[in-house]
Amino acid sequence: MDERSVYKSIGREENLTGISRRVAQISVSAIKQMPVLARNVPDAVSLGQGIPSFGTPAFITEAVCEALARDERIGKYSLQPGLPDLKIEIARYLKRKKGVDADPDRELFVSCGAMEALAAGIATVVERGDEVLIPTPNYASHIEQILFAEGTPVYVPLLEEQGWRLDVDGFRKSVSKKTKAIIVCNPMNPTGAVFSRKDVLEIAQLALEKDLFVIADEAYDFLVYDNQEYLSFASIPEVKDRLIGTYSFSKMYCMTGWRVGFMYASSRIIDQVLKVHDAFAICAPTISQYAALAALRATNGKDGEGDRFIENLVHALDTRRKLACSRLDSLEALFSYQIPKGAYYVFPRIIGTPLNSMDFALKLLYEAQVISIPGNGFGPSGEGHIRFSFGGTEDEINTAFDRIHEWARINL
């Protein structure tokens, strides 16, 4: 059984009769499958899916309730590229955060989460046989999105011992005549790496030299620790014509269920991506666009309620990061790990058992009642690792690590 069919086998039996090759070859990512399996494990505690424990803040939900009471447009389709007022606020946000002058009318579209923006962007530029360079390990859905577009993912291993650094030379050596794009997720899921300014600029340079698109997944761009410098691809004017930048409200405002994000790209690209958006979604949920508008209106880059919320969120997640790291330190016979610098994931190497990542994750689930995500769901060099999210509460993190400790004491 190959790696991909392992994932299929933990879901429902598949009957692929009549199913297109395009769809038959892709899978639901392990990130989503493990919580589904865990439904049958009473009292399981999660270090699995990347959902922060906090609810959507009141300054967003109250604005939506008010709009529901007085504005019937909230229950209707919005304009297909998104609410014009929201796009104006997004452009202001991009200017403030990244120094970008985005034309709200032509260079932005509001998507059903960053996920739809990524899928639509990849489908727009990648076609059958095109190669797309991605780091490995990497966010699992990028792999499925490339395959869905009938492209070929070409994996470039990250440099684990250098804090999961980008191997720019490896990227350069992997370019072929068929290479169409590079996908970079920064800050990174699943490793928690934040790529250096130098490496980001070198990837941008490579894209320019080799005429490649840069697909930047920057869903965690607000979540960087230890004052680490962060360079967004959107802030590099030279790549603008080849950039597909995707962003999310999910993590920054604890809005994972609202399904709203956006894309920043040149008008040439946005015009094409909107065809895909129309075919798959028509528009992002209008109610969620109202929520995103309230979120950005409360965020002014200084002392707005949104700014305070984000600051507290980053602070709380930093505390949880330190807690998760200290718990990992006391499991040094089982794991070795690189300290995460961004997002809310850590991706330890499993050193204390010969189990592969899937078997290990299943044992943690069924024997320790801890949900985790096996590393082999994140591309070839994910094997031998496990992804833990520290988005949960400190209590959840402590309970999960207590259980792993106990499991290791009995089994190793």
| Residue whose CB is less far from ligand PLP, 166 or 334 | 166
Closest CB to ligand PLP belongs to which residue?
A: 113
Question: 96-115: which residues touch ligand PLP (CB under 6 A)?
Answer: 113-115
For residue 409, give every residue at least 6 positions away whose Cβ sits within 8 Å of its Cβ, in sequence order, or none.
Answer: none
User: Considering beta carbons, is residue 27 or 369 the nearer one to ligand PLP?
Assistant: 27
Question: Does position 338 bind ligand PLP by CB under 6 A?
Answer: no
Distance between CA 389 and CA 274 in Å, rounded? 33
Between residues 334 and 386, which has the closer beta carbon with respect to ligand PLP? Answer: 386
Residue 309 CB partners (closer than 8 Å, separation 6+): 57, 59, 253, 298
In the bound state with ligand PLP, the residue whose beta carbon lies nearer, of 109 and 139, is 139
CA–CA dist 48, 370 (Å, integer): 8
Smallest distance from ligand PLP to CB 56, Å: 13
Nearest approach, Cβ of 197 to ligand PLP (angstroms)?
20
Report, in Å, the least distance between residue 185 CB and ligand PLP: 5
Contacts (CB under 6 A) with ligand PLP, residues 32-91: 50
Could you give the CA distance from residue 6 to residue 29 in angstroms, rounded to a whole number?
A: 11
- Report how many residues bind ligand PLP under the rule CB under 6 A: 13
How many C-beta neighbours within 10 Å does residue 104 have? 18
Residues 6+ apart with CB under 8 A from 392: 45, 46, 47, 53, 320, 400
* Residue 297 CB partners (closer than 8 Å, separation 6+): 63, 89, 306
Q: Tell whether the torsion through CA atoms of 197, 342, 405 and 410 is positive or negative.
A: negative
> Is-contact 158 135, C-beta < 8 A?
yes
Report the residue number, 114 or 368, with the smaller CB distance to ligand PLP: 114
Binding mask 164-203 for ligand PLP (x = CB under 6 A): ---------------------x---x--------------
Of the pair 110, 154, the CB lying nearest ligand PLP is at 110
Among 89, 107, 131, 217, contact with ligand PLP (rule: CB under 6 A): 217
> Residue 283: what are its φ and ψ, rounded to 5°?
-150, 165
Which residues ranging from 235 to 254 are in contact with ligand PLP (CB under 6 A)?
248, 250
Binding site for ligand PLP (CB under 6 A): 50, 113-115, 139, 185, 189, 217, 219, 248, 250, 256, 261
